[in-house]
Structure 1
């Protein structure tokens, strides 16, 4: 880990602040694109949006939380807020480690945020081996440091810290790897994020740095028009400069003051995408978009049953932080595959986060987790990519927590816990039973496929186990379909992750005997 400079950096050579007070020209340009395109900035018009086929088929993307907060690497990625809030562990740690906040503030971590080992093509290759189909880096987090080239701020990675367009370089590498490039914006929360530093003697109060730390207003106050215009035009700049096909927003845009600006942004983005000839996705949380106008996102969570419209779960390989910190509480490969499978069975997409180090590397433990997911998908991806929900999402005794922020503990799946997906291809109709833990006795029992359940409305043409060359022995009776799985793959290294039974259906409804045995 790079040594953090112990004294505040010298900022005497800082370029002058960017004047963003007059936004009239930019706003007029936004209005022109909206007027010329198929979408207007009304919820009625935006309701015509349809999620693209590529996204429905992709199922799995990689999220990246990277930024200046990875330099202190303490507790989590909210260090820039908590270090200015008296009484927090971050506040006490900061004073003890770096000194008072008026002598060493958050800005003083920027020179140590070098990313000198950043290899975007190596990252993209890793994400491809993991089985991801799209990549969504954080363009700007709540701390206000832009990881991209912008004309609206001097506080950006192209001018200080890494001194390169790290977002642009990664998105270029992503496209070279034939993955879809996206971006996320957490700018909205910056309205209040540093406000703790306004309550005591800190560098947040220094007029020389107000364009970085500000607005630093009370979270109880609605953002004013100047901030809302700036939010809109910063986002438009990301859209136009980088052409992301996924645009992800954090929670605070649900504040009522954002509503007309959110509508404008969505109409602008969808119209620009139409000009590019590309299909795009906006991810949103809670109620910040009207239902059907974008793709609903649940943070670190799940939903109950199958949602008719595609949705997304954004979560992380770590339970303790999105960004790089020491001492992560990492999930296991089995945990992550379980999350992926549960989400996909409910008509969802998983966006899985990793947090790079300030030197620009992805931690070894996080690489191993991604490689583990990729190994499972290499064998079983047919049951994930391009699938659609089946009649039911799953079966089994284990209750899955529903809602946001429910991944603080691992879900203890058993061999009786199964999730279902389906597909139709040139060979016919298929249903996949993803058994979330491989049975110790080598026998899978799938109750939803029993002839007495009425869920399989056609006869079974064939049964196979993904990744297994030989056809298994199987038996269907009134209660269940029982399948002899054969040997575990890779000498058993994937035993804890689960196994997939593929059921190919007769081309038309046939009369089935109560008991059928095949071998």
Structure 2
């Protein structure tokens, strides 16, 4: 276990244990649990969508539903007609999910190099295929069909050799499972699917792999009482092997999302742009059109580094964490464009991470006059430091920041640049930072620059 990860989890455990609370299976009690400190401090995580949908690898991870669901996508239907025999089933893709180049240690190194502090791996998506040898998914799991490996187990072991914290995504429902369709036909007055599939799987992955994140999804067709959500979360917080460190999201039933749970996700790519009263997470994708790998994606379909960093900065400025998704290939490789984005992100974090990790939203999220400037802050006793993230380098030799109020001891530095910068106070509030002496060849970053202002008054 990495030293930083161990320290973070110990702090989280102490924070929770000091409460001495037994949480009840209702949302008022569950929502009263303090969020373990490691999660807010981390700011950046990696999401990984991998499964049988990675075999066809067109359209998205919803390929099966778009092929044979209630409202089929004509393009997906035509793709299958053009390329597969008439009696081909989605299950036939399973044996082609080969994962022959899957190297969990290499994945973990890439994720660690990104600057992320935790990962969330898809243990099971809506297709029902489990990336571990589940006792409750006979002949539709990664040991029985396809790789013949415990993918979750291998990745958990590899991640825990680093300072990353390991988490798991799990879909509550499955598009075409007979028990689920039966419960749905009964207007969810029966719970056979939950009793025999959903809950046993959740207990299984928590007890076996001890994830510090449980990222629930697939909840939107049924209420939380059908899913038995509060009873599971109460067990997770009170009795599970990760009870003192685990965090959960908000996707636990109709009406629960964006209201209850450990932190809020609200919707995919949730980036409100204003400060939120509760901790939230912006789960988003480098591929703008899919969470899973797409063979038919074009370069323009991927976020540029400018776009990725702006998303990170705005999210953190408003009090959120960013969960950056990648989709590996069926054979187990993280495509070079994903790896490049993650490694470039990590290099940027090495220079600018002090303004991200462990930071808090400031009085101002966005500058009052410059829309390309966003802020975070750190406070230590009477000292307050503000970080100004500049998305576009100024076209003149002066950077004007309208929001900060400097004191007689304020200093301004460009993170990653050696010399402090001269500035002048502009009225009762605001600073003009002189950039004329900055040597552009020595700028520490290619995208987004961070100016640190120490000992700010406001």
- TM score, norm. by length of structure 1: 0.76
Aligned to 1:182: 167
Aligned to 1:152: 136
Q: Which consecutive residues of structure 1, in runs of 5 or more, have no partner in the other structure?
A: 1-35, 195-211, 398-414, 511-519
CA separation of 1:228/1:222 partners in 2, compared to 1, >3 Å: closer, same or farther? farther
Query: Deviations 1:210-246 (Å, cap 9, x if unpaired)?
Result: xx67645696763431012221221111111111111
CA separation of 1:37/1:391 partners in 2, compared to 1, >3 Å: closer, same or farther? closer
Contact kept, 8 Å, 2:237 with 2:244, in 1: the verdict is no
Confirm or deny that 1:255 pairs with 2:222. yes
Contact kept, 8 Å, 1:126 with 1:371, in 2: the verdict is yes
Q: Structure 1 residue aligned with 2:374, among 419, 432, 437?
A: 419
Aligned to 1:394: 366
Q: Structure 2 residue aligned with 1:359, among 324, 331, 338?
A: 331
Query: Deviations 1:285-306 (Å, cap 9, x if unpaired)?
Result: 4832684542111411212421
Alignment of 1:7-406 (within 5 A): 38-85=22-69, 86=72, 88-100=74-86, 103-154=87-138, 155-188=140-173, 190=174, 193-194=175-176, 215-216=180-181, 222-223=187-188, 224-229=190-195, 230-253=197-220, 255-256=222-223, 258=225, 261-273=228-240, 275-276=241-242, 278-285=244-251, 287-288=255-256, 291=259, 293-298=261-266, 299-328=268-297, 329-395=301-367
CA RMSD of aligned residues (A): 2.6
Contact kept, 8 Å, 1:40 with 1:267, in 2: the verdict is yes
Contact kept, 8 Å, 1:395 with 1:448, in 2: the verdict is yes
Q: Distance in 2 between matches of 1:277 and 1:87?
A: 42
Q: Distance in 2 between matches of 1:339 and 1:374?
A: 15
For residue 65 of structure 1, report the CA deviation from its aligned partner. Answer: 0.4
Contact kept, 8 Å, 1:110 with 1:161, in 2: the verdict is yes
Q: Distance in 1 between matches of 2:226 and 2:143?
A: 31
SS in structure 2 opposite 1:502?
Answer: strand
Q: Distance in 1 between matches of 2:439 and 2:47?
A: 31
SS in structure 2 opposite 1:423?
Answer: strand
Confirm or deny that 1:440 pairs with 2:440. no
Q: Distance in 2 between matches of 1:123 and 1:442?
A: 42
The size of the alignment, in residue pairs, is 426
For residue 488 of structure 1, report the CA deviation from its aligned partner. Answer: 6.9
Q: Distance in 1 between matches of 2:412 and 2:126?
A: 50
Query: Deviations 1:385-421 (Å, cap 9, x if unpaired)?
Result: 0001111211267xxxxxxxxxxxxxxxxx7411111
Q: Which has the larger radius of gyration?
A: 1
Aligned to 1:31: none
CA separation of 1:266/1:93 partners in 2, compared to 1, >3 Å: closer, same or farther? same
Q: Distance in 1 between matches of 2:439 and 2:128?
A: 49
Q: Distance in 1 between matches of 2:328 and 2:439?
A: 34
For residue 424 of structure 1, report the CA deviation from its aligned partner. Answer: 2.5
Q: Which consecutive residues of structure 2, in runs of 5 or more, have no partner in the other structure?
A: 1-19
Q: Distance in 2 between matches of 1:148 and 1:442?
A: 56
Q: Distance in 2 between matches of 1:117 and 1:417?
A: 42
SS in structure 1 opposite 2:315?
Answer: helix
CA separation of 1:37/1:462 partners in 2, compared to 1, >3 Å: closer, same or farther? closer
Q: Distance in 1 between matches of 2:104 and 2:199?
A: 28
Contact kept, 8 Å, 1:466 with 1:501, in 2: the verdict is yes
Q: Distance in 2 between matches of 1:306 and 1:364?
A: 34
